[in-house]
Structure 1
Amino acid sequence: MKHVHLLSIGYEWVLDHLPEDVALSNSKGAVEDSTAEHCLALILASLRELPRAYQLQTEESWSRLWTSSLHGSNVVVLGVGGVGTAIIERLKPFKPAKITGVASTARTINGGIDVVSIENVHQLLPSAEIVICALPHTPQTQGLIGKEFMDRMRDGALLVNVGRGPIIATAALIKELETGRLRAALDVTDPEPLPVGHALWNAPGCIITPHMAGDTGQFVELVSELATRQVQLLSSGQTPLNLVR
Structure 2
Amino acid sequence: MYPPMIGISLILRVLVPWQDLVDELTLPGIEPILWHIDDDPHDAPEADVLVTERPSNPRLRSRVSRIKGLKHVHLLSIGYEWVLEHLPKQVSLTNSKGAVEDATAEHCLALVLASLRQLPRVGQQQRERQWTRTWTSSLHGSKVVLLGAGGVGSEIRSRLLPFKPAELTSIARAERVHEQGYPVHSFNRLWAILPTADVVIVALPQTPETKQLIDAEFLSAMKNGSLLVNVGRGPLIDTEALVQELQSGRLHAALDVTDPEPLPAHHALWSAPNCIITPHMAGDTDQFIALVSELAVNQVIAFAHGEKLANRIIN
Report the alpha carbon displacement of residue 112 of structure 1 after superposing the two structures with TM. 4.9
TM-score of the pair, normalised by structure 2? 0.76
CA contact (8 A) 1:30 1:223 kept: yes
Aligned to 2:265: 196
Distance, in Å, in 2 between the alignment partners of 1:150 and 1:49 is: 21
Q: 1:172 aligns with which of 221, 241, 246?
A: 241
- Cα displacement string for residues 108-147 of structure 1 (whole angstroms, at most 9, x for unaligned residues): 3365533110233111201110000001111100110001
- Verify: 1:96 aligned to 2:150, yes or no: no
* 1:98 partner letter: E
User: Could you list the per-position Cα deviations for residues 24-53 of structure 1 after superposition, in whole angstroms to 9, with x for gaps in the alignment?
Assistant: 000000000000000000000000000000
- Pairing 1:30-179 to 2, within 5 Å after superposition: 30-109=99-178, 112-179=181-248
The answer to whether the 8 A contact 1:100-1:113 is kept is no
Q: Which amino acid aligns with 2:163?
A: F
Residues 202-244 of structure 1, C-alpha deviations (whole Å, 9 max, x = no match): 1000000000000000000000000011012111211211000
**More displaced 10-residue stretch of structure 1: 8-17 or 111-120:** 111-120
Matched residues, percent identical?
Answer: 63
Q: Does residue 1:14 correspond to 2:83, yes or no?
A: yes
Q: Is the 8 A contact 1:8 1:28 kept in 2?
A: yes
What amino acid is aligned across from residue 311 of structure 2 in structure 1? N
Q: Which has the higher contact order (CA 8 A, sep 6+)?
A: 1
Superposition CA RMSD, Å: 1.0
Which runs of no fewer than 5 residues in structure 1 stay unpaired? none
Question: Are the aligned partners of 1:99 and 1:113 in contact in 2 as well (CA < 8 Å)?
Answer: no
Distance 1:156 1:23 in 2: 46
Q: Post-superposition shift, 1:21? A: 0.5
- The structure number with the bigger radius of gyration is 2
Alpha-carbon distance in structure 2 between the residues aligned to 1:222 and 1:149: 36
Does 2:300 align with 1:208?
Answer: no
